[in-house]
Structure 1
Amino acid sequence: MNLTDLAKQMAFIHEIDKLKYIQRKTRLFNSERHENDAEHSWHLAMMAMVLAEHANEKVDIMKVVKMLLIHDIVEIDSGDIFLYDSQANHDNTAEEQKAAVRIFGLLPDQQAEEFISLWEEFEAGITAESKFAKSIDRLEPVLQNVSNEGGTWSEYEVKYDTVIKKTSKMKDGSQVLWDHTNYLFEESISRGILKKD
């Protein structure tokens, strides 16, 4: 047993507990309580396993799950950026890259390299696995907002065009989930919980 590696792994495990304190704007289904990043990541991993058959391409589901479990760990340092924020860009930033190096760098070298590589692959959104993972990441807030009578769409006056712009890449990972999401959008418009200009 390599005790140095174990000590590094334990330091990482302690560090990522902080993810439970990063609050998101979205609320749990049918709830007033905001979810945290750890809950979000767990839910996405479960959704990916359940919905894997709907990926556009055959995917390595274990790799997808790993991506979803680690994709927001950088927010321990950089904080959560609201998907529909009109000021901040939700894409990869230098701050997030720095956070990835610091946090994953707590691990033994081989694990650190694997986690950074997975995080970068997710951010790039080019592989079948990262496209499907990103589809799942975009689907969950839609489901939350629908369950909460508009949720953040209503609270922050987010319009249909903005929602479409932020979610349309879902179709790159799963046309089936994108079609279902469009059905939810139309239903939300008819219920008055998503506004068209």
Structure 2
Amino acid sequence: MDAARAEALLDFLALADRLKTVERRGLVPLPDGTHRRETSAEHCWNLALLALLLHREVAAEIDLGHALSLIAVHDLVEVEAGDTYAYDPAGRATQAAREEAAADIVFGALPADLGARLRAMWEEFEAGETAEARFAMACDRMQGFLQNVLSEGRAWREHGVTRADTRPRMAPAEAVDPVFAALIKRLYDRAAGGMLPE
């Protein structure tokens, strides 16, 4: 590896490290009973764990390495674009344009061959057309829902999110495989009552 490539890789890793500082709306319960915001990097780790646990549970033949690659890159654009809350219509309306512009910066920081490879993975995740992308998307949606359940629905209540609001977001994940449908149903059951208002 030549010096310029090595420097570019190290600079990109420093850029990607900023994902640890991008806060999401989801809350992480702490041992003392308080909560703090989840970061996008923590979210990606949790997705990777979900994928590891579920890839052999679903009917589709999932290439775990490929699914994990999609998961690793799917939120990298957030180091420039920030996280867009799933239940923020105004933010969602501008999300695609903001993330495309961010992708130019983030993946453009890499040597051209690596930048193209990682951008293609990000685009594959966004398009959701492969089995691995659909699987990764289902893990992504389920993780956000799980995080809200683990924090007793605090972020949902903070933002006035209702059960009806969550249905369109969760339906594509439930449709990926009966395993996701069953797990998400159990999460809805756990969220019954005041955690996720009707």
**What residue identity is the alignment partner of 1:20?**
K
Q: Deviations along 1:32-75, whole A, 9 cap, x unmatched?
A: 01111111111111211121123341111111111111111101
Aligned: 1:9 with 2:12: no
Partner of 1:105: 108
Q: TM-score, normalised by structure 2?
A: 0.91
Q: How far apart, in 1, do the equivalents of 2:183 and 2:197 lie?
A: 18
Partner of 1:63: 66
Q: CA deviation at 1:91?
A: 8.3
Q: How far apart, in 2, do the equivalents of 1:46 and 1:35 lie?
A: 16
Say if 1:166 and 1:177 are closer, same or farther in 2 by CA, change over 3 A: same
Q: How far apart, in 2, do the equivalents of 1:86 and 1:99 lie?
A: 20
Structure 1: runs of 5 or more not aligned = none
Structure 2: runs of 5 or more not aligned = none
Partner of 1:84: 87
- Paired residues, number: 195
Partner of 1:163: 166
Partner of 1:18: 18
**What residue identity is the alignment partner of 2:65?**
M
Aligned: 1:27 with 2:27: yes
Q: How far apart, in 2, do the equivalents of 1:187 and 1:193 lie?
A: 8
Identity across the alignment (%): 31
Q: How far apart, in 1, do the equivalents of 2:124 and 2:111 lie?
A: 20
**C-alpha RMSD of matched pairs (Å):** 1.7
- Higher alpha-carbon deviation: 153-162 or 24-33: 24-33
Q: CA deviation at 1:26?
A: 0.2
3-state SS, counterpart of residue 89 of structure 2: coil
Q: How far apart, in 2, do the equivalents of 1:138 and 1:105 lie?
A: 28
> 8 Å contact 2:78–2:99 — kept in the other structure?
yes
> 8 Å contact 1:78–1:99 — kept in the other structure?
yes
> 8 Å contact 1:132–1:172 — kept in the other structure?
no
Q: TM-score, normalised by structure 1?
A: 0.91
> 8 Å contact 1:5–1:108 — kept in the other structure?
yes
Match of 1:193 among 180, 183, 195: 195
> 8 Å contact 1:71–1:122 — kept in the other structure?
yes
3-state SS, counterpart of residue 90 of structure 2: coil
Q: How far apart, in 2, do the equivalents of 1:181 and 1:171 lie?
A: 7
> 8 Å contact 2:84–2:95 — kept in the other structure?
no
Partner of 2:140: 137
Q: CA deviation at 1:90?
A: 7.1
3-state SS, counterpart of residue 35 of structure 2: coil
**What residue identity is the alignment partner of 2:3?**
L
